[in-house]
Amino acid sequence: MTATAQFPREVDRRGAFVRQASRFRDWVSADGSTGYPATPGRYHLYVSYACPWASRVVIVRKLKRLEDVIGMTVVDPIRDERGWRFTAADPDPHEGFRFLAEAYAATDPSFEGRVTVPVLWDTETRRIVNNESADIMRMLESAFDAWGDPSVDLYPADLRAEIDALNARIYETVNDGVYRAGFATTQEAYEEAVDALFATLDELDARLATRRYLCGDRITEADWRLFVTLVRFDAVYVGHFKCNLRRIADYPHLSGYLRDLYQQPGIAETVRFDHIKRHYYGTHPQINPTGIVPRGPLLDLDAPHDRARLGG
């Protein structure tokens, strides 16, 4: 039996979720050679605390100390048929948009895909520069060092090959894997996604038995790309997306690693469980038609961990 898809345009004939490609891929550079020079106050982020893709950009902005360099507006976690909307508490400060879809239409009137976050907006040309979170992370990591914290290097030259390989594996089976499980419309597609997801989590747990972070004793962008999925896992993906073979709390090394990252300075304030749970349980009617948000689970991410024994 084939169920109704949450996003019908992004499901293949097998009932597997196939995420749409990011539409806008222009680049901000330190020297301006790309046509978009890094300039304080010129660019603005539209994000959601609910979305893991947006959250990893929020984390890099925080770590690089770019809050006064790149503005940020947070959309409502409840998304209806009109998409992400701005709120009275956090309105769009530049164009007066009511919905993020208006930014997409202003940039490309022919755009017909799903409107997503994060979005990097150029206030000078009044268009979207980029809506791919991996790209935006890299731009924030390197293009704005003249105004941010250049000592924070999340993509060090000597680890780039290892980081790229980890990113590719984790994106395919974990970051996107939870969605492939949750948005699958056939048993076959669901089981394929879940099996790949937990095979990778098992591998990562074993990897973290002997190293504090994914690449050793340094935190890299690979860690933050994994973190945003792990921190949502027990609260949302276990129940809502049926990723319930194991919880992160059941993994001896992944669970301590998650607490270690969560307790890094400034990170806890980027994690808003009220936004996360309201979004997932309240905006996927094909999965949770009642819209009821569960009270649990109780999570203690401030509990001690022993990860420092591994260095770093």
**Residues classed as catalytic:** 51, 179
Q: What are phi and psi of 36, to 5 degrees?
A: -125, 90
Looking up tokens 């949770």 gives 288
3-state secondary structure 238-267: HHHCCCCCCCHHHCHHHHHHHHHHHCCCCC
What's the rounded Cα separation, in Å, for the pair 56 and 231? 12
As given in the structure block, the two tokens for residue 216 are 């050793």
Answer whether the bond into residue 297 is a cis peptide, omega within 30°. yes
| CB 185, CB 5: distance < 8 Å | yes
Phi first, then psi: give them for residue 171, nearest 5 degrees: -60, -50
For the chain, what is the largest distance between any 2 Cα atoms, rounded to a whole number of angstroms?
56
d(CA 290, CA 188): 26
CA–CA gap between residue 299 and residue 268 (Å, rounded): 13
Beta-carbon-side half-sphere exposure of residue 274 (alpha carbons within 13 Å): 2
Pairwise CA distance, residues 312 & 94, whole Å: 41
Q: What CA–CA distance (Å, rounded) separates 289 from 203?
A: 35
Task: Name residues whose C-beta falls within 8 Å of residue 110's C-beta, 6 or more positions apart in sequence.
Answer: none
Tokens representing 144? 């704005």
Contact at 8 Å (CB) between 200 and 169?
yes
Whether the CB-CB separation of 217 and 311 falls below 8 Å is answered with yes
